[in-house]
């Protein structure tokens, strides 16, 4: 899947071949390195990851139980100035998301004001009637948010997706930095980069600050994982370990005396804050999917009684599907009273007959995605698709238009990767990680850069051959 003939913005090199400001110091260092030595370093990185066990599991692949996400050792670099502008936009967007969630489950002012059609969330599978009229502890819905950004020019950053359920990837952000520092220690003494390593500490603090009233002074925080076979298990274990929190599975938990408690060697002990990495649907078999063994029977009753914090709150998925996404500029303006600092990618909702007509006429140019899809599955990239693929997709689209949105094929920015033939530009995106608590909003400088390793490819998802890079924000 590639998008030819697009004038793309390369973040390291200007069209005249000169190196952009963010990369000057790095380029100076790189020029001094021996290329054979650099190649050897690349191989070293892989064994480093294997040893520490940073693997991800791919669904539906028998032999692919543990795979590594390819790591590229050329960092993706933003200047401090670029980051400051960016983080203001992110903060604004996250504040709006949280206010939007509260409004949707309470007075629904935005619908009364006629700014958002009611059916958009009424038909939404992620909408939870159980959350209506309930305010989570501290008023926080989206404790951890990942905002996926793409860049199309020097100052043009656009939001591609809001991840308001359980965004993953933060462990790669942290381990990529550790790996880079282990591989190139002298580089970090030459170029000053803002650290990311306090994310787990901030996460622990942020979660503790959201504990329900009546919790102990030091609240008990636990990470709920679906278990070792989940694709992000490494991350769940990693975060629990780094936070000093228990890593629990559904089978460890039970509702005892009105609290969610975990089975310890000394009997059941209550949990105050549950950072769950289990989807809403599996959270409580008494309320949602009755066959789930990943959750805790009765946890929703405890939650609604205000005796546990669930992060992120159930029902936040309603804010991050692709149909709502199209309204995000409106939503930001409605709740913050400000113009959105970060733009959206233009989006056509195929549920709308005029948009559908427009999209059908231009299937060969557009990217069409499922509203509830993720991971780069089930999408059409028009410019890269064959006539037959487009025809097949047209049928799917016509059968259920409301299930799709379309976006223009963007000229995503590129950053070089290291290849045996030298540096080569590849498309990237960026997922910064945002923490929300009553004490405020914290954004770790940088985030996770995902990179499409195949030449010309626009798909950065790890499940589809994407890799990652260390993402730097310069301390300038």
Partner 1 sequence: MLGRVANGIFWMYRYLERAENTARLLAAGHRMSLTRGQEAATEEWRSVLTTLGLLQAYTSHHEGFGGAQVCDFVLRGKGNELNVLSMFERARFNARTCRSAITLEVWEAVNEGWMTLRDLLARPVRDASLGTALAAIRRESTIARGATHGSMMRNEIYSFARAGTFLERADNTARILDVKYYLLLPSLAYVGTALDTAQWDNVLRSLSGERAYRWLNAGRMDARSIADFVILDARFPRSLAFCYATMRENLAALARLHGHEGPAHELMRSADQQLTGKTIDEIFDLGLHQFLGQFIVRNQAVSDAIAEQYRFTV
- Asked if 273 is part of the footprint of partner 1 (rule: CB under 8 A), the reply reads no
Least spacing, CB of residue 315 vs partner 1, in Å: 28
Residue from 246, 352, 370, 389 binding partner 1 (CB under 8 A): 246
Q: Is 186 helix (H, G, I), strand (E, B) or coil?
A: helix
- Asked if 267 is part of the footprint of partner 1 (rule: CB under 8 A), the reply reads yes
| Distance of alpha carbon 33 from alpha carbon 30, whole angstroms | 5
| Distance of alpha carbon 370 from alpha carbon 196, whole angstroms | 33
Least spacing, CB of residue 226 vs partner 1, in Å: 12
Least spacing, CB of residue 353 vs partner 1, in Å: 51
CA atoms within 13 A on the CB side of 114: 0
- Asked if 251 is part of the footprint of partner 1 (rule: CB under 8 A), the reply reads yes
Backbone phi, psi, residue 290, to 5°: -70, -15
For residue 239, give every residue at least 6 positions away whose Cβ sits within 8 Å of its Cβ, in sequence order, or none.
170, 171, 200, 203, 223, 245, 275
- Asked if 264 is part of the footprint of partner 1 (rule: CB under 8 A), the reply reads yes
Residue from 118, 123, 241, 475 binding partner 1 (CB under 8 A): 241
Query: x/- site string to partner 1, residues 36 to 55, per CB under 8 A?
Result: --------------xxxx--
CA atoms within 13 A on the CB side of 83: 22
Least spacing, CB of residue 265 vs partner 1, in Å: 4
Binding segment for partner 1 (CB under 8 A), chosen from 111-119, 159-167, 203-211, 231-239, is 231-239
For residue 70, give every residue at least 6 positions away whose Cβ sits within 8 Å of its Cβ, in sequence order, or none.
453, 466, 467, 468
Residue from 189, 266, 386, 421 binding partner 1 (CB under 8 A): 266
Residue from 3, 158, 247, 319 binding partner 1 (CB under 8 A): 247
How far is Cα of residue 285 from the mean position of the Cα atoms in its chain? 26
- Asked if 434 is part of the footprint of partner 1 (rule: CB under 8 A), the reply reads no
| Distance of alpha carbon 439 from alpha carbon 422, whole angstroms | 46
Residues in the chain: 476
Residue from 132, 228, 391, 392 binding partner 1 (CB under 8 A): 228
Least spacing, CB of residue 417 vs partner 1, in Å: 27
Binding segment for partner 1 (CB under 8 A), chosen from 100-108, 257-265, 340-348, 413-421, is 257-265
- Asked if 472 is part of the footprint of partner 1 (rule: CB under 8 A), the reply reads no
Cβ-based nearer residue to partner 1, 266 or 386: 266
- Asked if 58 is part of the footprint of partner 1 (rule: CB under 8 A), the reply reads no
Residue from 263, 362, 372, 454 binding partner 1 (CB under 8 A): 263
Least spacing, CB of residue 47 vs partner 1, in Å: 10
Residue from 105, 121, 184, 233 binding partner 1 (CB under 8 A): 233
Closest CA to 412 of 167, 168, 169, 158: 158
H/E run at residue 78: strand 71-78
How far is Cα of residue 384 from the mean position of the Cα atoms in its chain? 25
DSSP state, residue 317 = G
Cβ-based nearer residue to partner 1, 252 or 333: 252
- Residue pair 12/154 in contact by the 8 Å Cβ criterion: no
- Asked if 240 is part of the footprint of partner 1 (rule: CB under 8 A), the reply reads yes
Instruction: Put the strands of the sheet holding 366-370 in their side by side order.
Output: 348-349, 404-408, 366-370, 380-381
| Distance of alpha carbon 157 from alpha carbon 443, whole angstroms | 16
Residues that bind partner 1 (CB under 8 A): 50-53, 227-228, 233, 237-238, 240-241, 245-249, 251-252, 262-267
């Amino acid at each position: 899947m590639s998008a030819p003939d697009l004038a793309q913005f390369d973040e390291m090199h200007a069209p005249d071949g000169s190196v952009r400001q963010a990369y000057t110091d790095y380029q100076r260092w790189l020029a001094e390195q021996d290329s054979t030595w650099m190649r050897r370093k690349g191989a070293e990185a892989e064994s480093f990851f294997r040893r520490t066990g940073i693997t991800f599991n791919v669904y539906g692949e028998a032999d692919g139980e543990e795979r590594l996400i390819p790591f590229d050792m050329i960092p993706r670099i933003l200047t401090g100035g670029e980051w400051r502008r960016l983080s203001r936009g992110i903060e604004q967007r996250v504040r709006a998301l949280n206010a939007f969630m509260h409004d949707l489950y309470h007075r629904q002012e935005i619908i009364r004001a006629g700014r958002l059609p009611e059916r958009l969330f009424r038909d939404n599978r992620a909408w939870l009637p159980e959350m209506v009229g309930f305010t989570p502890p501290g008023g926080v819905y989206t404790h951890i948010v990942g905002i996926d950004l793409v860049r199309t020019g020097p100052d043009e950053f656009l939001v591609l997706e809001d991840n308001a359920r359980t965004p993953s990837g933060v462990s790669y952000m942290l381990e990529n930095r550790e790996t880079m520092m282990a591989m190139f220690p002298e580089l970090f003494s030459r170029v000053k980069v803002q650290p990311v390593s306090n994310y787990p500490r901030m996460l622990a603090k942020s979660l503790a600050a959201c504990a329900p009233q009546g919790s102990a002074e030091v609240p008990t925080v636990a990470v709920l994982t679906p278990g070792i076979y989940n694709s992000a298990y490494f991350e769940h274990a990693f975060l629990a370990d780094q936070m000093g929190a228990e890593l629990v599975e559904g089978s460890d938990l039970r509702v005892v005396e009105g609290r969610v408690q975990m089975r310890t060697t000394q009997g059941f002990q209550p949990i105050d804050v549950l950072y769950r990495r289990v989807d809403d649907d599996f959270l409580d078999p008494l309320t949602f999917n009755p066959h789930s063994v990943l959750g805790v029977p009765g946890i929703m009753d405890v939650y609604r009684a205000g005796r546990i914090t669930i992060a992120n709150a159930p029902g936040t998925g309603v804010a991050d599907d692709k149909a709502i996404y199209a309204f995000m500029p409106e939503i930001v303006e409605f709740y913050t009273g400000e113009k959105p600092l970060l733009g959206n990618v233009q989006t056509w909702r195929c549920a709308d007959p005029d948009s559908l007509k427009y999209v059908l006429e231009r299937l060969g140019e557009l990217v069409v995605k499922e509203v509830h899809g993720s991971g780069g599955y089930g999408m059409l990239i028009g410019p890269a698709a064959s006539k037959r693929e487009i025809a097949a997709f047209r049928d799917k689209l016509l059968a259920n238009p409301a299930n799709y949105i379309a976006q223009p094929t963007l000229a995503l920015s590129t950053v070089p990767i290291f290849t045996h033939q030298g540096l080569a530009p590849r498309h990237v995106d960026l997922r910064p990680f945002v923490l929300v608590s009553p004490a405020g909003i914290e954004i770790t400088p940088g985030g996770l850069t995902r990179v499409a390793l195949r030449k010309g490819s626009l798909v950065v998802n790890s499940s589809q051959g994407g890799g990652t890079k260390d993402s730097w924000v310069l301390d300038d």
